[in-house]
Amino acid sequence: MSEPLVQIENAVKRFKTPAKGILSVLDGLSIAFAKGEFVCLLGPSGCGKSTLLNAIAGQERLDAGEIRIGGTTKPIAGESLRVAMVWQSDSLLPWKTAQANVEFSLLVSGIKGNQRQQRALKWLQAVGLQGFEAYYPAQLSEGMRQRVSLAAALSIEPDLLLMDEPFGALDVYTKLQIEKEVVRLWEAMDATIIMVTHDVQEAVALADRVIMLTARPTTVAFETRIDLPRPRDLDRIYGDPRFHTKVSELWQALTNPG
């Protein structure tokens, strides 16, 4: 692996819970993510995937261990390295238009005023939302709202893009359309993507590497490299025998652990 962009070492995270006392979510988890890699994380519900992403994003503090991004453990905000996040469901500001939502993301990232309008337009267009700039989130479909979230994340031209089940709530057709955009845009960028998904097929179609996590406290159950060719044409990949072989290998590993 080339030099890791994100290095998680012996991460420990526990939560105090009302019913179960101390809940151990991460107990010495170590994973490295190479620069420019697209990695999908799979794992049972409640195992700690969102906790892990939040810790990488600097929004959750570890109890022990460390997460180094670009070789440093300093908080990410204000650093030269740009990190963006896309959540499972709407994280848009309902009182702002699509354009204003993307511009807000640029503002928070410190992009100068005169550049924000142009960049927001460019990225809304890139995700297929030209003509919807002035729409409010409530006037858009769920798939369109996820596209706005994606435009907001991509507009800051992130070095690291963290996505927590970003397409989980979408219907199959909309999901495929957005997945295609993500792959196309990512292949043209230099970003590292860490994406949580419940969908084995989606993981194989998109990622360079799939990491399967265990139940809590979560560790790496196994990982597999997806050596399907790039650039990936998702219209073709879902019909490619190599894709189906990889998906069934993963299902095998999932259903017959060890």
Ligand X SMILES: Nc1ncnc2c1ncn2[C@@H]1O[C@H](COP(=O)(O)OP(=O)(O)OP(=O)(O)O)[C@@H](O)[C@H]1O
By CB under 5 A, name the binding residues for Mg ion. 49-50
Q: Does 203 bind ligand X (CB under 6 A)?
A: no
Longest pairwise C-alpha distance within the chain: 56
Listed ranges 47-55, 127-135, 145-153, 184-192: which one lies at the site for ligand X (CB under 6 A): 47-55
Listed ranges 44-52, 77-85, 145-153, 245-253: which one lies at the site for ligand X (CB under 6 A): 44-52
| 199, burial (CB in 10 Å: exposed 0-12, middle 13-18, buried 19+) | middle
Q: Does 24 bind ligand X (CB under 6 A)?
A: no
Choosing among ligand X, Mg ion, none, which partner's interface includes residue 222 (Cβ < 5 to 8 Å by kind)?
none
Which 51-80 residues touch ligand X, going by CB under 6 A?
51
| 69 bridge partner residues | 6, 72
Backbone angles phi, psi at 4, to 5 degrees: -65, 140
Residue choice 49, 116, 209, 246 for contact with ligand X (CB under 6 A):
49
Q: Does 45 bind ligand X (CB under 6 A)?
A: yes
Is residue 33 within 8 A of residue 162, CB to CB? The reply is no
Name the residue with the smallest CB distance to Mg ion. Answer: 50
* Beta strands, E only, the chain: 4-17, 21-34, 38-42, 64-69, 83-86, 160-164, 192-196, 209-213, 220-225
Residue choice 7, 12, 14, 23 for contact with ligand X (CB under 6 A):
23
